[in-house]
Structure 1
Amino acid sequence: MLRRAMAILPSSTKDANGHSTKIDSAGQCLRFIARRWLVFGITGFALFTLLLRMLYLRERVVAIPSAVEGSEYSRWAGLRLPPLYSQYHQNELRLPQHHWHATSHEDEPKFFFVPGHSRGSGWGNIMQEILLNAYLAHKSNRAFVFYNYTWNDNPSEDYADYAGKPIPSRIPLSALVAGPLVGGAFPPGQHAPLAIAEEYYRTVCDGRKVVLDRDEMDKKARSWMVEPITTAWLEKLNTVDDQCVEVAQGQGPIYNWITFGDRHAMHDAWADFAASPIVTHFRWSALVELAFDNNREVIAPTAVFEPPLSTVPYTSNAERYTALAGLLVLHLRRGDYEGHCEHLAKWSSSYLAFNGLPALEQFDPPEGGSWGENTPENVAVYRAHCLPDIAQIVARVRAVQRADAARGLQHVYVMTNGAVEWVEELKRALRATGQFTHVASSRDLVLNWEQKYVAQAVDMLVGQRAQVFIGNGWSSLTGGIVVMRQANGFHPDTTRFF
């Protein structure tokens, strides 16, 4: 910038024809002063801008206000604290179906709330439960009471500790998803009551809640499968006329880990669930879609113009999240899966419910194991599917490429929480096959500060739109992607597992 600025000042006293011109000493002095002041001005402006940036970063990234020394903030001194998404919370409370100042709420629809919903788990676990809770509320013709994605629901603690780093204790659901799940409109022709926020429910229903016993419904269902559980609750809810209904606080989720851990649990309920507007009009939040748009060329470079997803009018889940031709997405869990995969092998576990949908390839536990232990050979089989090494990953990719549904693959995107060094080694191995022109991973995304803490949802959007997706059958994050792909009509051959 400095060199360009100096270039606009004359450096010669000759005219355009090369002849010398007469410039008096005063004129030369003025030109000299003007040049110097311009240089000083540009330099000063650059230094001032740099100083402001340093101060801004120092305040946002490092400084811990003295007023909160000794509080929950001080344990993370020197770290940039996560966002709290206050604007999203406020927007949820401004939903038009929230009649805060009404003198009576009798004319509003009936509500259904599950206060014992799961907490302290990854987004994949939480999302699968939210979808089923909202599905149950919709079938009962009650407004679903949606809640935060919660790690810690202690209102005095804004941050939770995750592996020694601060994360938001509560993320508003609307920062992750949009549509009927968080109070958005149902499709035309659907006259279902709109979802409401938990805070509104607690306010207008204070002192007049009917609490239902989950244990009673479990005995009635006599099963952990989704269909009999849903039927038992519907029969009970249809007998209750009260507006404010919830499940007993200390009894946990309606659909729990036993349900989600059985690969047959969704079979009988699948067709009705997939046709529900909870799924057909599921949508990712504007924050997540913007992250996708900003990283579109990182994920899979385009050859022709493609309008940003966030500019396209919404119609439905299937029409919005179409397949990206040529894109292969791999979901590879690392970190805690080192021990988790050993645990799965020990108990001869099958795939999770959302990954056990009809028509998808399945994993049958090898024979030879017993309750609580397994053979070394069987453990190795589990590791190849659950925690494959780089050679096994490449071999699986090459095998899937032989399918007709995999024709034309040229880009690879790796969804992973793996260490950077391992991810780079994997990317080199995939490039070395000579089959792909572009290889990227979750680690390559450029995200703003709010998007960083919903990055799992960004990855799920990418996986949902892959031409071919290869996931982990024991991962709930994979499960959420699988559900959306199946519901959107993707051919089963395009959805695989390691």
Structure 2
Amino acid sequence: MDTPASRFALPLHSAGKAASFPFSYVMSTVPRRWWRSILGGLILTCFLGYFFMPIRRRDPLLPPLYEKYHQKAIDVSKHNYHNSPSAKEAKSSSTELLSSSLGVGWGNFLQEYLLDAFIVHEAGWSNVFSNYTWNKDGQDYSVYKNKNMIPSRIPLTALVAGPLVGGEWPEGDSTPISVVKEYWDKICPEEERLFIDPRQVDDWKLGNLMASDLVARWKKRLDETPGRCVEVDREAFQTGTFWIFGNAEHLLEFWPAYSTSPILTQFRWSPLVESGFMKNYGLISSTKPAVHPYHTIPGLLALHIRRGDYREHCSNLAGGGALFNAFNSFPQFVDKFELPPNRTGELTKEVMNHYLPACLPSIQQIVTKVTEVRKTEAGKGLRNIFIMTNGARDWVTELKEALRETGGWDLISSSRDMQLDWEQKYIAQSVDMLIGERAQVFVGNGFSSLTSNVVMFRMVRGFPPESNRFWIP
């Protein structure tokens, strides 16, 4: 009798032989309507899987989310915190300071983060680091300037390395290691935290404070704070403002202490940034790479030239009577920016004409500056040019041709020529910064925080002051 059970009975083979599933037998015994159901189920599963799988796996053109770097930060924090003697001590007696800045460029974020980390280190506490966050709305991606998709968050471990992100401090430095926020949330639950809103402190008049005074007041406030877990309201407050980073008088008196701190002397870019640099070394230099990752690249001239939104930004700077960023204003520097004479506070054509060569130089002004620099002692032997820029490709091509016409160059390349992988593409500014940091001569935009950070690292690493130049006619 052909019953449902008998239709699925398998043929028995002789004793001692394994039973088998002949494909043709299965095909002939399973009803067609069952095959249609199975096939339909597979198609439905694939269809639903396509639309409910993470979107970044569907479209490789979307930015990376750097998950492995974030997980590594958590793993390193957990391991080092429990295995470092200083961390164990910090767990019961230390104070953690949480800092973050939202919706600001990488250059602004980095200068703020370094200053925060310096304050925490001076106090002898464990620093808490978070992601470089553009948008905190919970979405994985943000749209930059209404056209470009960018990651909403990039783990700091994808950008920098060393003690700032959980590495060990130098020998003899007993400062507790830094920990990532997600791990800090576990060892410092909300009920154990003390929240500080600096706006409630009446005598913190940022416009009147020298950087050393600012650090001293933070240290005193935190020394007097009971408990071991402190969180600062960073969405409402920023430690360093224009009055600090944009004012040479307020910041440079603080330089001797800051420049010798391991916050700067131990600073290192992440392996991802360094690999992007090494991958493109042949584009920027005709010499062999130095063994040390931060030694000078002989013969390299790096130019930082801002375009894009900088025409509007230059107008704002001119209207506000801005000077160069503080770290672009060391008294030893050759190029110094002065306010226009007889300035009335009105944005006139004369005022704009005074600012534009320093803020938004033309191709001819750039060529003239490069020619001048080559004649200096610091510029002897320059053979290669790397242009750090966000300028349009056509404009960059025109600039490269104009520079090449001056003669004597082996290589002229730009940010637009860099070959970067999927992850390196979204941290390209840091790769540019590492190149600028190592150049024999660096010419930058004195109003730019990115230039300011490059110059700061060059000064920490002992580059001659005259090797740092700006777009001053």
> 2:343 is aligned with what amino acid?
G
1:377, distance to aligned residue in structure 2 (A) = 1.7
Residue number among 339, 345, 366 corresponding to 1:365 in the alignment: 339
Matched-pair contact (CA < 8 Å) for 1:114–1:253:
no
Answer yes or no: is 1:94 the counterpart of 2:75: yes
Matched-pair contact (CA < 8 Å) for 1:210–1:245:
yes
Aligned to 1:212: 196
Aligned to 2:360: 387
Q: Secondary structure at the match of 1:440?
A: strand
Residue number among 128, 136, 139 corresponding to 1:153 in the alignment: 136
Aligned to 1:181: 164
* 1:264–1:114 CA distance, 2 compared to 1 (3 A): farther
Answer yes or no: is 1:324 the counterpart of 2:308: no
1:213, distance to aligned residue in structure 2 (A) = 3.0
Deviations 1:36-65 (A, max 9, x none): xxxxxxxxxxxxxxxxxxxxxxxxxxxx94
Aligned pairs for 1:2-401 (under 5 A) are 65-67=50-52, 80-95=61-76, 96-99=79-82, 108=91, 110-115=94-99, 117-155=100-138, 157-163=139-145, 164-206=147-189, 207-217=191-201, 219-220=203-204, 223-302=208-287, 305-306=288-289, 320-360=293-333, 361-371=335-345, 373-401=346-374
1:399, distance to aligned residue in structure 2 (A) = 1.5
> 2:123 is aligned with what amino acid?
S
Deviations 1:290-314 (A, max 9, x none): 0111111111122xx436x6xx6xx
Aligned to 1:450: 423
Deviations 1:429-471 (A, max 9, x none): 0000013221110111100000000000000000000000000
Aligned to 2:405: 432
* 1:218–1:489 CA distance, 2 compared to 1 (3 A): farther
Q: Secondary structure at the match of 2:367?
A: helix
1:338, distance to aligned residue in structure 2 (A) = 1.1
Indicate the larger mover: 470-479 or 193-202.
Answer: 193-202
Structure 1: any 5+ residue segments left out of the alignment? Answer: 1-63, 313-319
* 1:240–1:422 CA distance, 2 compared to 1 (3 A): same
Matched-pair contact (CA < 8 Å) for 1:267–1:358:
no
* 1:183–1:368 CA distance, 2 compared to 1 (3 A): same
Deviations 1:13-47 (A, max 9, x none): xxxxxxxxxxxxxxxxxxxxxxxxxxxxxxxxxxx
Matched-pair contact (CA < 8 Å) for 2:276–2:420:
yes
Matched-pair contact (CA < 8 Å) for 1:214–1:254:
no
Aligned to 1:481: 454
Matched-pair contact (CA < 8 Å) for 1:390–1:426:
yes
Q: Secondary structure at the match of 1:331?
A: strand
- What is the rounded CA distance, in whole Å, between the counterparts of 2:157 and 2:176 in structure 1? 18
- What is the rounded CA distance, in whole Å, between the counterparts of 1:352 and 1:202 in structure 2? 35
- Taking structure 1 as the reference length, what is the TM-score of the superposition? 0.79
Indicate the larger mover: 203-212 or 121-130.
Answer: 203-212
Deviations 1:164-195 (A, max 9, x none): 22110000001010011111111111111110
> 2:112 is aligned with what amino acid?
E
* 1:379–1:65 CA distance, 2 compared to 1 (3 A): farther
- What is the rounded CA distance, in whole Å, between the counterparts of 2:131 and 2:202 in structure 1? 26
Matched-pair contact (CA < 8 Å) for 2:445–2:470:
yes
Q: Secondary structure at the match of 2:289?
A: coil
- What is the rounded CA distance, in whole Å, between the counterparts of 2:240 and 2:50 in structure 1? 42
1:205, distance to aligned residue in structure 2 (A) = 1.1
> 1:257 is aligned with what amino acid?
F
Deviations 1:319-375 (A, max 9, x none): x4111110000000000001001111111210112222342232111123233x233
Q: Secondary structure at the match of 2:80?
A: coil
Matched-pair contact (CA < 8 Å) for 2:103–2:134:
yes
- What is the rounded CA distance, in whole Å, between the counterparts of 1:400 and 1:464 in structure 2? 17
Instruction: Give every structure 1 segment of 4 or more consecutive aligned residues whose post-TM-superposition deviation is greater than 4 Å.
Output: 104-107
Counting aligned pairs with the same residue, the percent is 41
Structure 2: any 5+ residue segments left out of the alignment? Answer: 1-48
Q: Secondary structure at the match of 1:346?
A: helix
Q: Secondary structure at the match of 2:128?
A: strand
> 1:285 is aligned with what amino acid?
S
Aligned to 1:467: 440
Matched-pair contact (CA < 8 Å) for 2:101–2:234:
no
* 1:66–1:92 CA distance, 2 compared to 1 (3 A): same
Matched-pair contact (CA < 8 Å) for 1:368–1:375:
no
* 1:484–1:218 CA distance, 2 compared to 1 (3 A): farther
Matched-pair contact (CA < 8 Å) for 1:218–1:229:
no
> 1:489 is aligned with what amino acid?
G
> 2:275 is aligned with what amino acid?
L
1:135, distance to aligned residue in structure 2 (A) = 0.4
Deviations 1:384-417 (A, max 9, x none): 1100010000011111222111110010000000
Indicate the larger mover: 184-193 or 452-461.
Answer: 184-193
- What is the rounded CA distance, in whole Å, between the counterparts of 2:242 and 2:136 in structure 1? 20
Aligned to 1:403: 376
Indicate the larger mover: 158-167 or 462-471.
Answer: 158-167
Matched-pair contact (CA < 8 Å) for 1:266–1:357:
no
Report the RMSD for the aligned CA atoms in angstroms.
2.3
- What is the rounded CA distance, in whole Å, between the counterparts of 2:444 and 2:201 in structure 1? 34
Count of residue pairs the alignment pairs up? 413
1:225, distance to aligned residue in structure 2 (A) = 3.0
> 1:470 is aligned with what amino acid?
V
Matched-pair contact (CA < 8 Å) for 2:81–2:88:
no
